[in-house]
Amino acid sequence: MTVETIVGLAARGDGVTETGRFVPFTAPGDRVLGDADISPGPHRRKPPCRHFPECGGCQLQHVDDQAYAQFLVDRIISALAAQGVAAPEIQAPHISPPRSRRRASLHYERGGRLGFHAQASHRVIDMRECHVVRPELFDLVGSLRELLGRLGARTGAGARLTLCDQGVDLLLDKVDADGLAAAEALSEFASRHRLARLALDDGYGPQVRWEPEAVTATLAGVAVPLPTASFLQATAEGEAVLVAAVREAVGGGRLVADLFAGLGTFAFAQEGRILAAEGGRDAVLAMKAGAARSGRTVFADHRDLFRRPLSRAELDRFEAVVLDPPRAGAREQAAELARSSVPRLAYVSCNPSTFARDAKTLVDGGYRLRRILPVGQFRWSTHVELAAAFER
């Protein structure tokens, strides 16, 4: 009988043997006996959720935190190696705790199924427990299931939940709620569950149906208006370590540019004068309101950094730059930074592959990649985030 040992985890979470064989739902140290039998190794754990591995919300509940942390590190190192970039100091990874995710996008299937999609499928897993989302969000799932049924929601509808300062912000996607009965059902639901806001998007953009007071998210002590369906870091714990890593990389610069700034997660955490460039109009208005309320010197600039990145001449004025692009990375902006004289750069990424591509551009332009902090905000998933520090 052939016996092989799992030596690591591949990008999609499968175990990999010494011979390069991929074996789903195995952990490092497991022994694969023949074609099917698995002898558990030291890094295998019992998955806590009844829906694993069917539910697509998690891929790695069967491994312990040590193996999961190594998975985060390996993903980053392999992405850098593919670009020919030497790995720098890799700091101890942060893994957000169970039941800490403060935003979730759930899918609805006619007949009353509400939850995440199944692995590699559009089939909805009817969520009866969840070990990743905050209890405040999970506690709404049963009532939401009933509400969507009463509204006659069709397959493909969904619910996006975000925990904000005032409570749960709920957006119902692809849901029609015409007529008095539907309006009353929405108001009763929002009131009974003390929602911070309830909005509907029937295909023409979000329409707020309930918002007793203006909804905000507190970022670095600043209450910033929270536009419907806007982005927040997945966990408060993850946000805190990313902010700390960015502040360390920036090094107390008095004139800093925060590019792809979103609502100002990193801009409001800096001292001095901050230019916050962002392509989303609602986010820019939110930052302006937050700056005005707090007296912070954050200057929000509505700017598409893919089509119009800050030029070398513009960048050379700054002591440090923060980059936090979407999954596509910051190819155009990285090229301008590589030509600039900015001495310090913090790069926050949710995609090791596009980060590595941009890191090569920066390194080829004279930057040194000093350190990387891997971050696992989406616990037990294959989603990898990081904060990196570059210096000239």
Q: What is the bridge-based pairing of β-strands 273-278 and 298-302?
A: parallel
For this structure, is 164 an active site residue?
no
Specify the 3-state DSSP secondary structure of 269.
coil
CA 250-252-254 angle, 5° bins: 105
CA atoms within 13 A of residue 360's CA, in its CB half-sphere: 15
HSE-up of residue 378 (Cα within 13 Å, Cβ side): 20
Residue at 200: amino acid letter: L
The tokens for 240 are 């805190």
Query: CB neighbours (10 Å) of residue 143?
Result: 12
Which residues 6+ apart lie within 8 Å of 205 measured at CB? none
Residues 158/202, Cβ–Cβ less than 8 Å = no
Q: Which residue among 49, 130, 164, 350 is the active-site one?
A: 350
First to last CA, the chain: 55
C-alpha span between 325 and 347 (Å, rounded) = 8
DSSP 60-85: -TTB-HHHHHHHHHHHHHHHHHHTTP
Catalytic site residues?
Answer: 350
